[in-house]
Structure 1
Amino acid sequence: MELFQAVLSIFAERSTFFVQLIIEHLWISGAAIGIAIVLGGAAGVLIHKYERAAAPTLGTVNFLYTIPSISMLGFLIPFFGIGNRSAIIALTIYALLPMVRATHTGLSQIQPSLVEAAIGMGGSPLHALIRVQIPLAMPVIMSGIRNMATMTIALTGIASFIGAGGLGVAIYRGITTNNPALTIAGSLLIAILALVGDGALGWVEAWLKRPVRVSGTPRAAYAGAAAALIIAVSGVTYGFFGRADIVHIATKPMTEQLIMGEMLKMVIEHDTGLEARITPGVGGGTSNIHPGMESGAFDIYPEYTGTGWNMVLKEESKYSEALFPTLTEEYERRFAMRWVGMYGFNDTFGIAVRREIAERYDLHDYSDLRRAAPQMTFGAEYDFFERADGYPALCKEYGLDFGRTVDLDIGLKYQALANGQIDVMIVFTTDGQLAAADARVLTDDRSFFPSYRCGNVVRADVLDRHPELGDALEKLTGIITDEEMAAMNYAVETGGREPRSVAEEFLRGKGVL
């Protein structure tokens, strides 16, 4: 009951936020549905006409349909970048199978004699297709469209993983900030949109069962015009035809990044008069945001020095702040990007062990883990297992061989530790939930983890166009300590406050705003 009240409360308090996400969700899913109707319908007609192509075409589309959505998004990013474009393309691919299959099946069920009669009465094959075949096949086609549309609206929630908009933003942000009410609210709205969409298409299906012509205009023309309108407006809205000169901020799926994104937006708009837009919680973090910076989809994002050194510059050596001049020079030379506004805190890695386990095996530092690791389950974020300075290097340095590993979303790992699903996990030194967790943080007795000081990476051309932006970002230099960042994270993750509210309070307290 308490959670239900929290969901109602968040709807009332953040109605503008949800309305914006609903609009984004409808445009992304609507564009994919419109494109799929046009392309899938055309493909269905063609393979009906050339039946030999039916099996390979349906087989190919069916194969694409079986690819996991995360894999599909990851595959598209190098070609189309981060954001709505890749999301719409991926959703369109998934929507094609039911559309192609329904069109082909509907047309195949029509008696050939009816088509022959239409042609025998003087009609062309195209006339017979539009006036006879498609209307007769429409019940089956509409069934496919309804299933496809419902699935697409639901699947659009995953678009936020690559920095696209929609209600997935609320779900992912709720998971990241330990706010179940926000997660449920986003999920509930997606379900409602899917049901409303199915109902609306049901009404259209009933309308199409009426006489074939309305005021002399074939209904196929109405359907084609509607699909074309959805595609065109979506393209204009989401950047298929250009991009306004706005400062685009990206953040990783971490509470402190959501807070810093809000800080950046407020400082930029307060000091420069420029409009700033945030793409929050981009899944995959640096691995997806940095390509977005290179392509121009993003202009600025908070990054960590050690991450930039190992993941972006691909340096194998351990980073220390003595290397910062080299780091900045290489960013400028290779990517035409600059580091501006170093916040001051160092969000490095640590290892936390469930207290009961730590006491059982008398664990105090990383080296102690060697004797207990085979009986333990290790949990970390997805990218930690792939980083050059991550799991493989850690195990090699300390001679660790864990019995089992678990990939976890950053917003779920503390819950997994509390539930006993994992025994040991990677933490960040500024984690807000760390103070409330029943865990022991071990000592890095060999100083394995490098420095991870946080600053802003900005595209040089944006700074050149707007010199005032650099001055605004420099106001953030050295204003946040490790303890202050942890306190802000705690206020969001445990205190239930909004990142923007926490960010604004902190900036006003520091006299920045």
Structure 2
Amino acid sequence: MVAETWNLLATRWDFFAGLLLEHIQISLLAIVIAIVVGGIAGILISERQRAARPTLAVINFLYTIPSISMLGFLIPFSGVGDATAVIALTIYALLPMVRATHTGMTNVDPAILEAATGMGGTRWQTLVRVKLPLALPVIMSGIRNMVVMTIALAGIASFIGAGGLGVAIYRGITTNNAAMTVAGSLLIALLALVVDFVLGFVERRVKMRSRAAKRTNRRLAVGGLAACGVAVACALLPGLVAPAPATIHVATKPMTEQYIMGNMLKDLIEQDTNLKVDITQGVGGGTSNIEPAMESGDFDLYPEYTGTGWAMVLKKGGTYSEDEFDQLQAGYKKKGLSWVGMYGFGNTYGIAVRKDVAEKYGLKTYSDLAKVAGKLRLGAEADFFEREDGYDALSKAYGMKFGSTMQMDIGLKYDALEQGQVDAIVIFTTDGKLSKANATVLEDDRHFFPSYECGNVVREEVLQAHPELRDVLKKLDGTITETDMAQMNYEVEEEGKDPEDVASTYLRSKGLLK
């Protein structure tokens, strides 16, 4: 594993370096906001003690909210992406910052403050020249803890389509690439350790009170600010000198095949147009988070499935069939969206049980499963338990009630089945692991699951602004079969190939990519 991780970092450093830079940007922005807001709040409540208890109580309450829940609460207000991640990280960073500032300010020796007042110091002078300098070591300790925590917590930002090293972790889990998960985790840990070391050095310097030490501290502060200024200038200068081309923002769900299709879109669009493509890989929650972001303009394009659009986006009842595609298209048009470029394959749901379970109970169909479901445990991704055509509807259609259920990430379900943590899992018919899994796929004998043909959903506004995009997307019509997609998924999940390479190789085989 160590060798695989090192080799991956060496061969894909451009990929990881980009994620590392995004991680630093997201974390740094949240840290700066937390220092300013939390510092001011800590100073204010130390000067107005009556406000201290309710302020700290509110911040403590926010801190106890699970990070996933916090992201979910924020999405309706700030959408998906970096902005929501920064807001969430700032909220969690406030508690250590406010508490450290308040503690440092209130623990200054009263005798010193009395002496400062006796020498004629105003309240403002006492605060700035006495309290803050004496409280600074405690405040720096709080900042140090807060920064390390924020860098580590920023890894979860990828769940809502933000950047950072969490993208590598989440993608590694989804595609069964343990080396990528380890590499992303290792880089976050190293970044946190490096920053902790630097802040530890700063904390030690702050405690030095000699005149020479203060002069050195001022020089170091000026040098640090200058280095930050140069870094910011270098990041902004290319965009100021040469305006960037128009960018198409592509989103994908947290599924291997979606990573592959996202890269296909990037390759084709950038080859055939002057447009640049920015991919947000593996947005947690899938359609439930991507589609609202499409309507708000955060994303421009993403691969979707017809049955999912019918049930989750248009909220239509009944089992969808491709004969109703015109109705589906009309419904999307009302939302300012359009289906363009149908890939040619379908990826419907299915249910698979472990082979020993199938043999024990003689299971061949869903109706067979319904008779013994109460003795079994079902595993599925969160999306399946919430959608209109998901778990509740399936249970009703077959009179099926499992003994228990387990919510899990898509990339972990086959491992959970193999390890006996669940007895049955919800699958996709193009799953790469399916052909090698210790599983029996059951027959949907009442034809419950609708058709799920895959195509691209794109904003009408983008098509009008860039009409050449429609022609590019139409090139994908009928280019992929279900067997082709399953094979590509297998190459990524079991053979360890990169989705980017698999995507480009397939497009070249079809003569679509030069």
Q: Which TM-score bucket, shorter chain as reference?
A: over 0.9
Tell me the CA shift for residue 245 of structure 1: 3.3
Specify the alignment match of 1:332 in structure 2: 333
Specify the alignment match of 2:467 in structure 1: 467
Question: SS where residue 363 of structure 1 aligns?
Answer: coil
Specify the alignment match of 2:191 in structure 1: 193
Question: SS where residue 112 of structure 2 aligns?
Answer: helix
Cα separation, 2, equivalents of 1:229 and 1:315: 54
Cα separation, 2, equivalents of 1:207 and 1:217: 7
Tell me the CA shift for residue 120 of structure 1: 3.3
When residues 129 and 229 of structure 1 are mapped into structure 2, their CA distance, relative to the original with a 3 A threshold, is farther
2:82 is the alignment partner of 1:89: no
Specify the alignment match of 1:138 in structure 2: 136
Cα separation, 1, equivalents of 2:504 and 2:165: 24
Structural mapping, 1:53-202, within 5 Å: 53-202=51-200
Cα separation, 2, equivalents of 1:459 and 1:236: 29
Specify the alignment match of 1:390 in structure 2: 390
Question: SS where residue 273 of structure 1 aligns?
Answer: coil
Asked whether the equivalents of residues 246 and 275 of structure 2 are also in contact (C-alpha less than 8 Å), the reply is no
Cα separation, 2, equivalents of 1:25 and 1:348: 35
Q: What is the letter of the counterpart of residue 296 of structure 1?
A: G
Specify the alignment match of 1:424 in structure 2: 424
When residues 191 and 158 of structure 1 are mapped into structure 2, their CA distance, relative to the original with a 3 A threshold, is same
Specify the alignment match of 1:374 in structure 2: 374
Cα separation, 1, equivalents of 2:271 and 2:194: 40
Tell me the CA shift for residue 435 of structure 1: 0.4
Asked whether the equivalents of residues 38 and 224 of structure 1 are also in contact (C-alpha less than 8 Å), the reply is no
Q: What is the letter of the counterpart of residue 493 of structure 2?
A: E
Cα separation, 2, equivalents of 1:212 and 1:190: 36
Specify the alignment match of 1:448 in structure 2: 448
TM-score scaled by length of structure 1: 0.94
Asked whether the equivalents of residues 348 and 429 of structure 2 are also in contact (C-alpha less than 8 Å), the reply is yes
Q: What is the letter of the counterpart of residue 286 of structure 2?
A: G
Q: What is the letter of the counterpart of residue 344 of structure 2?
A: G
Tell me the CA shift for residue 91 of structure 1: 0.2
Specify the alignment match of 2:360 in structure 1: 360
When residues 114 and 218 of structure 1 are mapped into structure 2, their CA distance, relative to the original with a 3 A threshold, is farther
2:293 is the alignment partner of 1:295: no
Cα separation, 2, equivalents of 1:506 and 1:247: 22
Question: SS where residue 411 of structure 1 aligns?
Answer: helix
Post-superposition Cα deviations, 1:29-56, rounded to whole Å, max 9, x if no partner, equal: 1111111000000000000000000000
Question: SS where residue 435 of structure 2 aligns?
Answer: coil
Specify the alignment match of 2:241 in structure 1: none
Cα separation, 2, equivalents of 1:356 and 1:257: 31
Tell me the CA shift for residue 212 of structure 1: 8.4
Tell me the CA shift for residue 408 of structure 1: 1.0
2:238 is the alignment partner of 1:264: no
Cα separation, 1, equivalents of 2:69 and 2:229: 30
Post-superposition Cα deviations, 1:56-115, rounded to whole Å, max 9, x if no partner, equal: 000000000000000000000110011000000000000000000000000111022322
Q: What is the letter of the counterpart of residue 252 of structure 1?
A: K
Question: SS where residue 425 of structure 1 aligns?
Answer: strand
Unmatched tracts of structure 1, length 5 or more:
238-242
2:23 is the alignment partner of 1:25: yes
Tell me the CA shift for residue 138 of structure 1: 1.1
Question: SS where residue 427 of structure 2 aligns?
Answer: strand
Asked whether the equivalents of residues 212 and 218 of structure 1 are also in contact (C-alpha less than 8 Å), the reply is no
Cα separation, 1, equivalents of 2:360 and 2:406: 22
Specify the alignment match of 1:498 in structure 2: 498
Number of matched pairs: 507
Tell me the CA shift for residue 265 of structure 1: 0.1
Q: What is the letter of the counterpart of residue 134 of structure 1?
A: L
Structural mapping, 1:243-282, within 5 Å: 245-282=246-283
Tell me the CA shift for residue 224 of structure 1: 13
Tell me the CA shift for residue 374 of structure 1: 1.1
Tell me the CA shift for residue 216 of structure 1: 12
Tell me the CA shift for residue 217 of structure 1: 10
TM-score scaled by length of structure 2: 0.94
Tell me the CA shift for residue 153 of structure 1: 0.3
Q: What is the letter of the counterpart of residue 405 of structure 1?
A: T
Tell me the CA shift for residue 134 of structure 1: 1.0
Unmatched tracts of structure 2, length 5 or more:
238-243
Q: What is the letter of the counterpart of residue 471 of structure 2?
A: D
Asked whether the equivalents of residues 135 and 212 of structure 1 are also in contact (C-alpha less than 8 Å), the reply is no
Specify the alignment match of 1:481 in structure 2: 481
Specify the alignment match of 1:14 in structure 2: 12
Tell me the CA shift for residue 28 of structure 1: 0.5
When residues 216 and 310 of structure 1 are mapped into structure 2, their CA distance, relative to the original with a 3 A threshold, is same
Question: SS where residue 426 of structure 1 aligns?
Answer: strand
Share of identical aligned residues, percent?
61
Question: SS where residue 345 of structure 2 aligns?
Answer: coil
